[in-house]
Amino acid sequence: MNRLGVEPSVTRWNDGEARFLDWTIDGVALRSMVPTQHQTPLFLDDELWRDSAVETLCRLLGRLPGDFDDGRVALLVCPLCGDLGCGGYSVEVVFGEDVVEWRAFGWQYDYEPFDDPEEYRFPGARFERKAYETLLGDLLSNYRA
């Protein structure tokens, strides 16, 4: 089983920067596995993204449909606008009785079907469902507050 977590991170561009929580899998930050300026919508200091954070967490918990027509959920989005037309790093989320799997990681745009490119593809991750739901539920409570 893998271990899902979050850690503070920063992305920078031209004249700006954003602080957010990055996903970690077994202690390794997702953005270190996928070199990009994209980020999670789990902002640390921007109230405007609160709704996006809540929606993403609900999608990852299976309470809302995915971001894309095929049901996939965006893990990383454009730091300037969050628009999936700019591309997002997405994943298929599959719920089992005791396990949650993240499968088929890859880049995706909302205006075309997912193409499973070789670049930045890694094996899926399997999380113990109770720990997964506890982490995401705690984050959801924080962003709703």
Q: So what's the pLDDT on residue 120?
A: 62
What total number of domains does the chain contain? Answer: 1
Q: So what's the pLDDT on residue 18?
A: 87
Q: Are 138 and 6 in contact (CB under 8 A)?
A: no
Residue numbers of the domain that contains 37: 4-144
Mean pLDDT of the chain: 90
Measured CA to CA, the distance from residue 59 to residue 62 in angstroms comes to 5
Digit-coded pLDDT (tens) for 30-55: 988 887 888 999 998 777 789 999 99
Digit-coded pLDDT (tens) for 70-86: 999 999 998 888 889 88
More confident residue, 56 or 105: 56
Q: Are 84 and 68 in contact (CB under 8 A)?
A: yes
CB atoms within 10 A of CB 34: 18
Backbone angles phi, psi at 110, to 5 degrees: -75, -10
Q: So what's the pLDDT on residue 121?
A: 67
Beta strands in 1-145 (DSSP E): 4-13, 16-25, 28-29, 73-76, 88-95, 99-108, 125-128
pTM: 0.92
pLDDT band with cut points at 50, 70 and 90 for residue 12: confident
Residue 113 has pLDDT above 90, yes or no: no
